[in-house]
Amino acid sequence: MSFEYWYMFPIAVVVAVLANSSGFSGGVLFQPIYYIFLNVPIQNSVATGIATETLGMTSGTIRYLWYRMVDLPIGFTLIMLTIPGVILGNYALMIIDGDLLKLVLGIIILGLATMQLFNAARMYFGTRERVPIEDIYGYMWVPPIAGFFSASTGTGVCEISQPLLERGMNLETKKANATAILIEATADWIITILNLHAGLIIWEIWIFTGTGVILGGQIGPYLSRYLPARLLKIIFSIAVIIIGIFYIYKGALWILK
């Protein structure tokens, strides 16, 4: 085993702590590192980022389940609705320019994150401990879109599911974070299995990022229990705003070239 990418281990720990405590997709933060600094092709960057995120989100999910912070009925319902979008998005990754997809997603998540930051400023948080299944009926079109973008760009499920659960269905903030991570972890396993078949994952990098996010995935939920909901919402919002701006920038470059 080569130790060329050993430094990705501590980076992965930090990313997973932030992602699992506040409810955004940590894999997206690895993509610019892979693509810009390590010169990994974009499709491999997306696939390796998702494979890394799969372990981190699974680790975080296990810890949140232990803490009983996940709304399982609504979480499993959203998973079932997300899966068709995941399958379609994985196919889109092969035939549609990734920067075009990032431009569209960037606009969507930038709007959602800005809304969440505004809600944090005015102290608006979800309040319900559980969400009735029938509350999803008016939002059934949202999870497939989230799954599509998550498979095709490496981002989408957490960034869309968390605001949907908290803002759309008024689920308590920390439970919305935990439930979104459950949905993301499940979607990531499906995406990673599909990418395994395509041979897109760079294992020399993944071995260090994957082990790092397993550790970070345990630390993040632990910290989440003691951090104020407002701080978690601000972390989520700022992280996703940065991601959205980066995606819009990449998409604009694609249009102008």
Q: What is the pTM of this model?
A: 0.89
Instruction: Give the helix ranges, DSSP H, for the chain.
Output: 8-22, 27-32, 42-66, 72-95, 98-121, 142-153, 157-163, 173-198, 203-224, 229-256
Per-residue model confidence (pLDDT) at position 11: 92
Q: What is the pLDDT of residue 70?
A: 96
pLDDT of residue 125: 86
Closest CA to 169 of 66, 63, 78: 78
Report the candidate in 64, 45, 36 with the shortest Cα–Cα distance to residue 209. Answer: 45
Cβ distance 43 to 93 under 8 Å?
Answer: yes
Residue 1: its pLDDT value, please? 61
Number of residues that this document lists for the chain: 257
Name residues of the chain where pLDDT drops below 70: 1
Check residue 252 and give its pLDDT: 86
CA 197 – CA 204 distance, rounded (Å) = 17
